[in-house]
Structure 1
Amino acid sequence: MDEKSIHIIEESIKLFAKKGFSSTSVQEIADECGISKGAFYLHFKSKDALLLEVFNHFYQRMQRRIDEVQSDELDARTKFTEQLRITFQEIADHREFIIMQVREQAIPFNDHIDEFLKHMRFNTYLFYKRQLLSIYGKAIDSAVWEVSLILQGIFKGFIDLIIIEDAKLDFEEISKVILRRADYIVEGFKNTGDQPVITEEFMNGIIPHDYYAKELEDMILALDEAKHKADGDLQVTLTVLLDEIQKNQPRPAMIKGMLSNLEEHAEHQGLAGQIRTYYQL
């Protein structure tokens, strides 16, 4: 996206938060940006189209920051809490804009908005799943989806306090709190033998197959990166596993055997857990 379009988006966010989406005209946006109304339409087909790009801009900015943390040399627990903190901060920074959306119910119902919201929702499901597997590994295999949904509910509870009540919370602390709550929930499943209601099979009926294809792509990239850093028997294990999961018809027995080897290395237990859950091994 060009700099002028980004400038229009950023200025429109301020106007929408101040005046509301419905009450803000294209002419006012153009005036605020120092451009003509005609120039506005060179960048955006309509005000509704602009609103969709506002959502995209906000979401992609937050996603970039989260991805930057993912590439840092941090342990899985620290990555997750930092990513939660960033999400809390980004939402709080745009509180007035979000309140405007809620009060006005300003989101126009159309296929583009609907697709965007689905994309964001499915990405959130998979984000929690991946991070929990990275932290707990095989121990959370069967319950990962249920634990992730419970944590999303806790997260939303804090968000409601921040957005609706304007609560002043320590984002770093509540992010750590959420992970501690996850510890208790995971331990509960381990100690009681309780079976989750939300299973992999259930979620397969919710999330389209192409989103799982993206999950496989991420695992392949992670294996390839680990392979180039490893040596000896570990490198052989990673190479065989990587070759196997890229086949048209991967052999579950071969994958399972390589995962058993991989799980002997503590730093790769999370990745092994992701692969086990993906193939339901």
Structure 2
Amino acid sequence: MIKKQLIMEKALELFAKQGFEATSVQQITEHSGISKGAFYLSFKSKDELILALIDHFMMQITSDIDYIVTSTNNEEELLYEFYFTTFSSFHKHSDFAKLFVKEQTQSFNKEFIFKMHYYDRLMQKSILLMIERLYGEQVSDTKYDLIYCIKAFMSTYSELFLFHNVPLDLDLLSQSLVEKTNLLAKQTTIPFISKELIQIYKQPINDEVTKEQLLEIMEQKIEEINDSIEKESLILLKEQVLKPTFAPVIVKGLLENIRNHSHCKWVSYLLRSFYKF
């Protein structure tokens, strides 16, 4: 395990018990079995560590959801798979999700707020794509309102099993939310959120990654993971970005090899966007 990953895992254990504010860098280094100097080689501050944790978990969740939306070919199953994957991901990362919901009311810096807007916009982009695939022109006037209804379902129902110990039946929950979403999509005629309203308050965001940035991220991930099929696939994908030679079907196969590795989910997401898969 690389030192940066170790620090993040050990810090999360302390944050979950004590919260962000009550946990010091000294406590993190002692819990990680490293020196303060080693900590500051990986992170400039505790705030940078917190932002790295947010990046890590939001990248995992965003990547999982985007993959379902862009890769599920059966539209009858798409909405169910979306909800099932969403709540599975929340449950898998429940320690961080609980901590984040509890702590997000605290005073965070502008970079934190920007990051959350960034990931929220990426999530909205995936949800809008799903809505347009499922309902088409039927929801042309209500689709932006429907995005917020779906986000509200995601937030409200996740709190039931995160904080109220409600047993999580993923199948039943997903079926129930599919029914509710379909009813809203088919019956709603008076939207509150319009495209014009979104344009007024949304902040500009550039979610495009340059080829150079993509190669830099890939090189970093290649160094982070041990020898494995994922590492070999990532090396081949990097070569493909530098000099395209593979057919699309081969590129898709290589992306399948890496998409479930925790260090590669975000790279997989970026590469799917890069290749328009």
TM-score by length of 2: 0.66
Computing the radius of gyration over CA atoms, which structure comes out larger, 1 or 2? Answer: 1
SS at match of 2:166: coil
Question: 1:113 & 1:51 partners in 2: Cα distance?
Answer: 9
1:208 aligns with 2:241: no
Structure 2 residues not aligned, in runs of 5+: 209-247, 250-277
Give the percent of matched residue pairs that are identical in Structure 1 and Structure 2.
25
Counterpart position of 1:151? 150
* CA contact 1:12–1:29 (8 Å) conserved in 2: yes
Deviations 1:211-269 (A, max 9, x none): 6x86xxxxxxxxxxxxx99xxxxxxxxxxxxxxxxxxxxxxxxxxxxxxxxxxxxxxxx
Query: In structure 2, do the counterparts of structure 1 residues 52 and 136 end up closer, same or farther at CA, with 3 Å as the change threshold?
Result: same
Counterpart position of 1:262? none
Counterpart position of 2:161? 162
Structure 1 residues not aligned, in runs of 5+: 215-227, 230-281
Counterpart position of 1:83? 82
The 5 A counterparts of 1:166-205 are: 166-189=165-188, 194-205=189-200
CA-atom RMSD in angstroms: 2.7
Counterpart position of 2:141? 142
Alpha-carbon shift at residue 204 of structure 1 (Å): 1.3
Question: 1:74 & 1:7 partners in 2: Cα distance?
Answer: 38
SS at match of 2:116: helix
Query: In structure 2, do the counterparts of structure 1 residues 20 and 82 end up closer, same or farther at CA, with 3 Å as the change threshold?
Result: same
Alpha-carbon shift at residue 114 of structure 1 (Å): 1.1
SS at match of 1:148: helix
Question: 2:146 & 2:62 partners in 1: Cα distance?
Answer: 22
Report how many residues are paired.
210
* CA contact 1:66–1:83 (8 Å) conserved in 2: yes
1:33 aligns with 2:32: yes
Question: 2:183 & 2:7 partners in 1: Cα distance?
Answer: 46
Query: In structure 2, do the counterparts of structure 1 residues 121 and 88 end up closer, same or farther at CA, with 3 Å as the change threshold?
Result: same
1:118 aligns with 2:117: yes
TM-score by length of 1: 0.65
SS at match of 2:12: helix
Alpha-carbon shift at residue 145 of structure 1 (Å): 0.8
The 5 A counterparts of 1:1-281 are: 3-103=2-102, 107-189=106-188, 194-210=189-205
